[in-house]
Amino acid sequence: MIGAWVSAVFIVGGSLFVLVAALGVLRLPDVLCRMHAATKAGAFGVGLMLLGLVVHAGDLATAIKAILVVACFYLTAPIAGHLLGRIAYHRQRGELNLQTDDWADSTKAKSKTTNRDSPSDR
């Protein structure tokens, strides 16, 4: 009886995270924010739902399958999100009002400075 309640809590909690991820995809303003909501909250929600499945089933075979599914999901979702974000960034840089890489500008500026501009000479 307790196992059924614990699995229900995990499944409902995971469903809520997946719902929040879906609402984030619908409501957030730009592609990068939407991608973040889909990968982070969605992955955590699926993990909780599969944990609820494992608690409900209670056997080793289901636990191993769920662990493999969660591992696959956690390995592929961030990579897919990163690639989608990178493509969106390069295609819609002007439309999204995103800034360019600030670190690239600072490394170019540092390479142009001379030794007399270093902090040790001040």
Considering its fold, how many domains does the chain have in total?
Answer: 1
Please check whether residue 98 lies inside any domain of the structure: yes
Can you give the length of the chain in residues?
Answer: 122
Please check whether residue 108 lies inside any domain of the structure: yes
- Domain range for 102 is 2-112
DSSP alpha helices (H): ranges in 1-122? 2-27, 31-57, 60-91, 102-112
Task: Give the predicted TM-score (pTM) of the model.
Answer: 0.66
What lies within 8 Å, CB to CB, of 10 at 6+ separation is: 48, 49, 51, 52, 55
Contact 48, 17 (CB under 8 A): yes
Please check whether residue 120 lies inside any domain of the structure: no
pLDDT digit string (tens) for the chain, length 122 residues:
788 899 999 999 999 999 999 998 888 887 778 888 888 888 899 999 999 999 999 899 999 999 999 999 888 888 888 888 888 877 776 665 655 556 665 666 565 555 555 555 55
